[in-house]
Structure 1
Amino acid sequence: MINLRRIGAVDGSVDAGTRRFHVVLDDDATVQLDDLIVCRQLLPDGSGEVAHYGIVVEQTGVLEGAQWPSDTRHVVDGTMPGEAVRRAEVLVLRTDPELWLAPNPGAEVHAATGDARTKALFEDQMRKPLAVGLDQSGEPVYADFTFMNGEQGGHVSISGISGVAAKTSYALFLLHMIFETSAGRTLLGASAANTKALVFNVKGEDLLHLDRHNRLFDDDQRARWAKLGVADPQPFGQVEFHVAPLAGGDETQVVPDIASRRSDEVSIYGWTPEAFIRQGLLRFCFTESDDRSTQVGFVEQVVRTQLARHAHPLENEEGAVVIVPEAHSASRTFERVVARRPPAKPAGAGIVIRSWYDLLDLLAAKLDPDFGDEHWSGRTQPGTLMAFQRRLMALGPRLGHLIRCGVTEPVMRTSLTVVDIHSLHEAAQRFVVGALVSRVFEEKQGTGREPLRFIMLDELNKYAPRDGHGPLRELFVDIAERGRSLGVLLIGCQQAAGRVAEPVVRQPALKVAGRLDATEAVDYRYLTPELRERATRFLPGTMVLDQPLVPAPLPIRFPFPPYATNVSDAATGESDRAATASAFEEAGS
């Protein structure tokens, strides 16, 4: 017990159990919630010693001898006998060795620091420790990276109230620790250079400045990063930004929809008609809310395959296709049809498709109830065909500008690929998320777990809702259940876990909660009753971490970022950037 500070003794006036016990605090002991403690005692048979490690979850005080409220004054002024007693309630985290024994009443209790703290948090059992935050005392808290990278578990689920819980900020902090620190790169190993993350920007243009210094970053925050082993925190070094084209106007003009960065600093994304058809992206134009009883889903499958069977690349015009009368494949299975790319053909060979609206014109003719082609309609009832076309026509102003020639789909070339979807209609957001996530998932099939692919997405309840069905929901369920074995790891954020498909919030090995809505806190059963109540009052920057090795959730904090997480904090002007960069260099030297 050398070098450990005594704080009190196990309370003998109440039961001390194997899961919880109380500590009577010494008069000079300063103990607060979330402090770690250790209590050691000899085994009854004298064969050795057992240590109980725990975390303070509640603290109470009482004046022994005071029966009525007025007695308090008399005890304090000495006219009535009594004594002030402070007690801390402790949740047991670990016993070493692992023996299910209750601590002895009256046993000394000490603050767990140094090696005792390491054991209390199971850091000695972690194969690949990664700093994921700071505790109440400012010391680093670690999680085992094997529960994040798919070796023993995978995925991270982050929940909390929008705008207050700092879900996106914490997700970015984790990515920064993985990609931008020497400890993170060491954990990634030989595949570090090829490990990549796909980040969706869903609010304003906030995440389009991650490569810029945060002008509000100061020395106090630098000291907190130093506690995590990061002496010189910097913005994200390898990041590309992709923004949607501006909707409306001339179909041949492609202009980025962005205000806070120059057009030459971003890439304009979208899908050419050829990419749209060969990747089968028509399926992401329909959601689980579409009426399945009308067989719209069946028509979509037939049309998707027919487009692939009849589409040839258009000669001398990249991305455009020509729909020819004769199918180039006899198969009716989409996967077989797109297994090979058909030869290019001239415009005179059929109907040329250069945009979404060309595609609508084609389908209007092919699905006409009176003069259409039954091979395209699947002999479906006219009402169903009209319902199918109505949905596609309604999508024109919502996502039509994303399907055109002259654009390229985002490719993960750098550590971080940020795709901006904040300005898109909700239907277009679902389309973009489905198209990109399915591509990442499909490319990892059969290639091995490494190099890893991380996907960071907020508002997960919009894409994988608890109820209903649909290709996008099933995609995320598939990733949750099989992704870790393929090396596709989801860092998903949502306001309420109860609104997200159950496997998507159940499968993640690491669960994190920020500030919670009081009406929904009861849904987070992995939190202790005390933390469920406290989580309704958390300030931004405070989270609760639950990980497999530690049997109880731990409150943590994470430092202010050195990278800009919104437009106003970014060092944007030349003088602003120079001054901020100079301050970073001076502080790091």
Structure 2
Amino acid sequence: MAKENTDNEVTSNSDSPQNTSKITNPIELIGRVASPPQLESNSEEFYFWVQRDRLVEKTQLVRAESQIEGKKIEFYGVVQEVHRRSRKRDIYEESDVMDGDVGNDPPFKPEGVTYASVSILRTNPDVLTPPIEQSKVYLGGQNEAEFSYGFDEMKRPMAVGRLRNGGSNFAGLAKIDLAYLLGDYSGHLNVTGMTGAGTKTSFLLTIVKLLLHEAKQKTGKDPLHIVPIVLNVKGEDLMWIDREGREFKKKFETNKQDWKELGIQPEPFIGTQFYTPNQSNTNGGTTVDGCNATAYYWSFSDVLAEGLFPYLFSDDSISNVMMFLVNDIIAEFTDADGQPVLKHGVQNWEQLITWIRNEASTGEAERQIRNHQTGTWRAVCRRLSDIINEGESIFPRNAHSGKPLKVTRSQTSQPQVIDIHSLPSSLQRFVVAAIFKQVVAARKGKKAVRGLRYLLILDELNRFAPRNNTDPITKLLENVATEMRSQGVILFGGQQFASQVSTKIVESAAVRVLGRTGIAELQERVWQGWDKSVRQQASVLKLDEKLIMQTTFRQPMFVKLPFPSWAMNREDIAPKPMAQTPEV
């Protein structure tokens, strides 16, 4: 624990409920600025040597004071790395001090020096200059955190976790500005992390939980309506978020305290709506048991009515010649307003495939649609046949009508979780495109609801918007990322490799987050704007730690997140108390 400070608050170093109160300490002088050769200060960083008996840690907040032109200037920063240098010239002298005997304790204390590098986060007043040597350096706390990251200037601050101040202490709450997250100034959230260790989806759902709470507080002239739409892309993990988590309850008091710090009552997402593909050869049977889900699927007329037919042919292997024919087929079966006009005996997918096959085998003069080569007709027929064969759960062959997803809402709702994990990759992309297109259409025109924000939560972005792809689905996601934040459509995306995701999508996110990430990924160009020490730190983060970077920050916040209170998979569902267990 820190020793001094009359105006700074430093949280104690224990995560247990008994030790989470903030402790007020006097200002603690920990070192002096130094600028020797090869360790020169500049307007972005400085170095300081540490008082001999003091502990200074990487990620701690500090404040330096300098007198320049008769003015007091304060430099607020975060410790990027702590170094130790002895006065010995080489390893031989180090060994000689103890005569090569590890059990020997010399009579003199070590004569080396501990020093730290600091990245400047902000200055008061605003100046673009370094502190001068011998300036005093103080350990920072909650007040320094508020100023360093600009919490005091945020339009709509929201706490997202506890701001770490070293390895085990805290400097109050870490906050982001909803004006940058939800579209006022900028928008979107993107998180990168290793599978399992990066806990990307858990983090995204935590932000959703906090935003739903925020929406309850925003009423009257400045309403906020949050509509989360969650795509379940891996296993059945997200189909149980309306149940209490077993792991959360194991350390209930500790976990509850972390949520309490944020002003939130920890509970699962009660009231969540779940959707799964239709069980093949059933009428409304679901593909995931036990989660009270509703089945979804599309008929041929549904796909036409929603303008989704081109997304069945969305990958870079589809030629322009094929897309010309696809567009002509759409025109043949729709009117001037884009509404379905079913004819030629085509009422369902099976009949459509038969009609296309017949057109391919018919002479040019007898075709309903002309000016296309027979080979093109056959290629479109093969593609569509493959899609229906693979995706009969969402495209029943003989269904004349379907139960397509309807995800638009007019006010705050609990998450809608749409399961796509059992679908082939191409059809997962189709479902994602269908949802995104529907939401984009709902936010345009006179029907747009004031204060409404759609949150589209999608992991594995590299699967849906790969870097350098130009297919229609990638373009749709890029359009959401670059143009739709002002319309209230916000992308909460995640991936293991940001280097494999569309640059437009990653770079459009005003809030970028790193969970534990592999070294190879962190060497990619997409991360070169992040300091080397930050990237090294990202490779060893714990499950409940994230580095959070907002557009207005110079360096990311080091944040401890609350443990999810909902079940994170089927096995994590907490057992019901005996009083709630039905008799057999």
User: If the TM-score is normalised by the length of the shorter chain, which range does it land in?
Assistant: 0.7 to 0.9
What is the aligned partner in structure 1 of residue 539 from structure 2?
A: 536
Are 1:493 and 2:494 matched, yes or no?
yes
Name which of 250, 273, 292 aligns with 2:300: 273
SS of aligned partner of 1:29? coil
- Deviation per residue, 1:64-110 (Å, 9 max, x gap): 35644443562894467851321111111111110122112112111
Are 1:407 and 2:408 matched, yes or no?
no
What is the aligned partner in structure 2 of residue 131 from structure 1?
A: 159
| TM-fit CA distance, 1:40 | 1.6
Q: Work out the number of aligned pairs and report it.
A: 532
What is the aligned partner in structure 2 of residue 296 from structure 1?
A: 322
SS of aligned partner of 1:391? helix
* Aligned pairs (5 A) from 1:354-503: 355-370=348-363, 374-376=367-369, 378-403=370-395, 404=399, 405=401, 407-413=403-409, 414-447=413-446, 448=448, 450-503=451-504
| TM-fit CA distance, 1:559 | 1.6
Counterpart-to-counterpart distance in 2, 1:37 and 1:66: 31
SS of aligned partner of 1:253? coil
Deviates more, 1:526-535 or 1:93-102: 526-535
Name which of 204, 226, 249 aligns with 2:260: 226
Counterpart-to-counterpart distance in 2, 1:188 and 1:545: 28
Are residues 190 and 496 of structure 1, via their aligned partners in 2, closer, same or farther at CA, if it must alter by over 3 Å? farther
- Deviation per residue, 1:449-492 (Å, 9 max, x gap): 63111101111111111123211011011111111121111011
* Aligned pairs (5 A) from 1:179-190: 179=212, 181=213, 183=214, 185-186=216-217
AA of the residue aligned to 2:313:
F
What is the aligned partner in structure 2 of residue 282 from structure 1?
A: 309
SS of aligned partner of 2:417? strand
AA of the residue aligned to 2:459:
D
Counterpart-to-counterpart distance in 2, 1:370 and 1:194: 56
SS of aligned partner of 1:520? helix
SS of aligned partner of 2:258? helix
* Aligned pairs (5 A) from 1:505-524: 505-523=506-524, 524=527
Counterpart-to-counterpart distance in 1, 2:62 and 2:441: 48
| TM-fit CA distance, 1:221 | 1.2
What is the aligned partner in structure 2 of residue 207 from structure 1?
A: 238
Counterpart-to-counterpart distance in 2, 1:83 and 1:60: 14
AA of the residue aligned to 2:345:
I
Counterpart-to-counterpart distance in 2, 1:409 and 1:112: 51
Counterpart-to-counterpart distance in 2, 1:215 and 1:144: 32
* Aligned pairs (5 A) from 1:215-254: 215-217=246-248, 218-230=252-264, 232-247=265-280, 249=281, 253-254=283-284
- Deviation per residue, 1:487-515 (Å, 9 max, x gap): 11101111211211111111111111222
AA of the residue aligned to 1:22:
Y
Are 1:40 and 2:61 matched, yes or no?
no
TM-score by length of 2: 0.85
SS of aligned partner of 1:402? coil
AA of the residue aligned to 1:100:
L
AA of the residue aligned to 1:527:
W
AA of the residue aligned to 1:228:
L
SS of aligned partner of 1:562? coil
AA of the residue aligned to 2:152:
D
**Does the aligned pair in 1 maintain the 2:63–2:138 contact within 8 Å?**
yes
Counterpart-to-counterpart distance in 1, 2:331 and 2:211: 41
**Does the aligned pair in 2 maintain the 1:40–1:52 contact within 8 Å?**
yes
AA of the residue aligned to 1:429:
Q
Are residues 458 and 82 of structure 1, via their aligned partners in 2, closer, same or farther at CA, if it must alter by over 3 Å? closer
**Does the aligned pair in 1 maintain the 2:276–2:294 contact within 8 Å?**
yes
What is the aligned partner in structure 1 of residue 145 from structure 2?
A: 117
SS of aligned partner of 2:334? helix
Identity %: 25
| TM-fit CA distance, 1:367 | 4.5
SS of aligned partner of 2:82? strand
**Does the aligned pair in 1 maintain the 2:408–2:439 contact within 8 Å?**
no
Are 1:256 and 2:257 matched, yes or no?
no
| TM-fit CA distance, 1:24 | 1.3
What is the aligned partner in structure 2 of residue 328 from structure 1?
A: none
Are residues 576 and 287 of structure 1, via their aligned partners in 2, closer, same or farther at CA, if it must alter by over 3 Å? farther
Are residues 431 and 233 of structure 1, via their aligned partners in 2, closer, same or farther at CA, if it must alter by over 3 Å? same
**Structure 2 stretches of 5 or more lacking a match?**
7-25, 99-103
| TM-fit CA distance, 1:371 | 7.7
- Deviation per residue, 1:532-554 (Å, 9 max, x gap): 12222333232221111211122
AA of the residue aligned to 2:114:
R
What is the aligned partner in structure 1 of residue 15 from structure 2?
A: none
Counterpart-to-counterpart distance in 1, 2:140 and 2:578: 45
Are 1:306 and 2:332 matched, yes or no?
yes
Deviates more, 1:192-201 or 1:393-402: 192-201
- Deviation per residue, 1:232-254 (Å, 9 max, x gap): 2111134211111113x3xx633
Name which of 33, 42, 62 aligns with 1:17: 42
Deviates more, 1:187-196 or 1:391-400: 187-196
| TM-fit CA distance, 1:54 | 0.4
**Does the aligned pair in 2 maintain the 1:365–1:371 contact within 8 Å?**
no
Are residues 577 and 184 of structure 1, via their aligned partners in 2, closer, same or farther at CA, if it must alter by over 3 Å? farther
Are residues 189 and 302 of structure 1, via their aligned partners in 2, closer, same or farther at CA, if it must alter by over 3 Å? farther
| TM-fit CA distance, 1:357 | 2.0
Counterpart-to-counterpart distance in 1, 2:346 and 2:318: 31
Are residues 188 and 520 of structure 1, via their aligned partners in 2, closer, same or farther at CA, if it must alter by over 3 Å? farther
AA of the residue aligned to 1:442:
A
What is the aligned partner in structure 2 of residue 583 from structure 1?
A: none
Q: Cα RMSD between the aligned structures?
A: 2.6
| TM-fit CA distance, 1:156 | 0.8
Counterpart-to-counterpart distance in 2, 1:116 and 1:254: 57
Counterpart-to-counterpart distance in 2, 1:562 and 1:577: 21
**Does the aligned pair in 1 maintain the 2:188–2:508 contact within 8 Å?**
yes
